Structure 1
Amino acid sequence: MRVVVQRSKQAKVEVNGEITGQIASGLVLLVGITHSDTDADIQFTADKICNLRIFEDDLGKMNLSLLDVGGEILSVSQFTLYGDCRKGRRPNFMEAAKPEFANELYEKFNEELRSKGVKVETGLFGAMMDVSLTNDGPVTLIIESK
């Protein structure tokens, strides 16, 4: 499992001009699933994201987690995170999980985040989406479960 984590002041995702998910302050997650991912990957990644100390405290130091600040999550499925660009000019997506499997794990991942008390909004799995956000910092990290 590979997740790009972006701290944001606000974010939304639209499909065909309609907003499918929108958050205030929190994190935007671009979520990639590979075929070897398991429930353990979901649990590890969700726990890591919710508890990362990447929000500033009163002294301006990154000492607070998403849970500490009451932040929200906008979770967007992103199979292209498993695009391999080492050969040729067209990315190879062989490491990305098949849609049925990826969607099942993506939904489990979002439920795991919600079970930790976080408000989670999403895009639409498999759709062409317009994602907009105001990066905060910017703070951008990559989390990998393997």
Structure 2
Amino acid sequence: MIALLQRVSEARVVIAGETVGEIGPGLLVLVCAEPGDTGAVGDKLLAKILKLRIFSDEQGKMNRSVQDVGGALLIVSQFTLAADTTGGNRPGFSNAAPPALGEALYDDFVQRARAAHPVVQTGRFGADMRVHLVNDGPVTIPLRMTPPTSSPL
């Protein structure tokens, strides 16, 4: 799974003029499932997101996690994170999980996030969304968790 984290002072998702998810200080988490991803991969990614020390402490050092600062999560599906731009000028998206798998993994990721963190808002899988954010810093961190590879033994 791929995630792009943006530390925000506020963020919201609007679909057809309606705000469907909105947070104050915390993380905007853009997430993309890839073929071969599993719930276990999502668990590893979520654990990393919740513990990643990208918020400032009293000395201004990035030393606190979203959990430490009581920040919220706004989780938005974004298959374009898997874009392949190696050939030509039009990106390909075959590296993203097929829609049914992508939606199942996204829903599972959100459910696990809600079980582990007190404030979780979302966008809507597959929708045409407008994402508004005020990036804090700015701080933008890419993360990728890959499924374990089989041993050749």
Question: What SS does structure 1 have at the residue aligned with 2:63?
Answer: strand
User: 1:29 aligned to 2:13?
Assistant: no
Structure 2 residue aligned with 1:80: 80
Match of 1:11 in 2: 11
Q: Which runs of 5+ in 1 are unaligned?
A: none
Q: Pick the structure with greater CA Rg.
A: 2
CA contact (8 A) 1:9 1:26 kept: yes
Structure 2 equivalent of residue 113 of structure 1: 113
Equivalent residue, structure 1, for 2:137: 137
Q: Give the C-alpha shift of residue 117 in structure 1.
A: 2.4
Normalising by the residue count of structure 1, what TM-score does the alignment of the two structures yield? 0.97
- TM-score after normalising by structure 2: 0.93
- Residue in structure 2 matched with residue 56 of structure 1 by the alignment: 56
- Please identify runs of 4+ aligned residues in structure 1 that moved more than 6 A: none
CA distance in 2 between counterparts of 1:20 and 1:99 reads: 21
Which residue identity is paired with 2:142?
I
Q: CA RMSD in A?
A: 0.8
Q: For residue 40 of structure 1, report the CA deviation from its aligned partner.
A: 1.5
**Identical aligned residues as a percent:** 45
1:91-110 residue CA offsets vs partner (Å, 9 max, x unmatched) = 11111111111111001111
Q: For 1:145 and 1:44, how far apart are their aligned partners in 2?
A: 7
3-state SS, counterpart of residue 60 of structure 2: coil
* Cα distance in 2, alignment partners of residues 17 and 68 from structure 1: 33
Q: How many Å separate the matches in 2 of 1:69 and 1:114? A: 17
